[in-house]
Structure 1
Amino acid sequence: MRSKTLRFKVGDVMFSEGDISKEMFSIREGRVRIKKKGKWVADLKVGDFVREMGVLDRQVRSATAEAIENTVVSALDVDVFHEKLEQEPMIGLLIKTLIRRIREIGRRLYKR
């Protein structure tokens, strides 16, 4: 799959809660902080994916991501990814089902 390299400096906001997902990122260097409604959720590191759920189910961003170190990512376009999923519809269905379940669990936990 085709990807491009993007670079973010410390403090750069990579995307904001409510943004439309057009790419997903794989972190190659650095670290990224995820916040939801201004609260810390997670710190991601090399090898982690960012924006993957929004790309997979075409939902808006559910959180904000900020580079907490100088960060390099590989960015994969949503349309390219979905073209590949169309070639394997069962895998696409499985991924969408898992994401729906993860989002529901997240909503339940966040309400507590």
Structure 2
Amino acid sequence: MLLSTWETAAELPDLVGDPAGLSWAAPPTTELRMTCEQPADNGVLPALDSLVDLAPLGRNDGGTKSLMTVTITATPAMEGAERRSVLREALVHMAREFGYVDAEVDLL
């Protein structure tokens, strides 16, 4: 799902012409996030791992989280294989930053 979302957002510059010809005000960035925004009945946000299977990332030594984000700085125009590779590396980076210290690219 994150891949499809990123692809959709990255294709928007195509509406204004060739992305190579665009003048960027800053390096192009994309923020990918997983968040629980609807509080449980007790008013507390649920943990992501109660809604999404994060088991492939390994154990979490940082406790439960209701939000995980990662910012990717990269050109919007990429081939599918390159985007998937960058996304996998970004997800591993995000997982490690949020306590999944055993996360590895080959686990995804």
TM-score by length of 1: 0.29
Q: Quick one: higher RCO (CA 8 Å, sep 6+), 1 or 2?
A: 1
Name the one with the larger strand percent: 1
TM-score by length of 2: 0.30
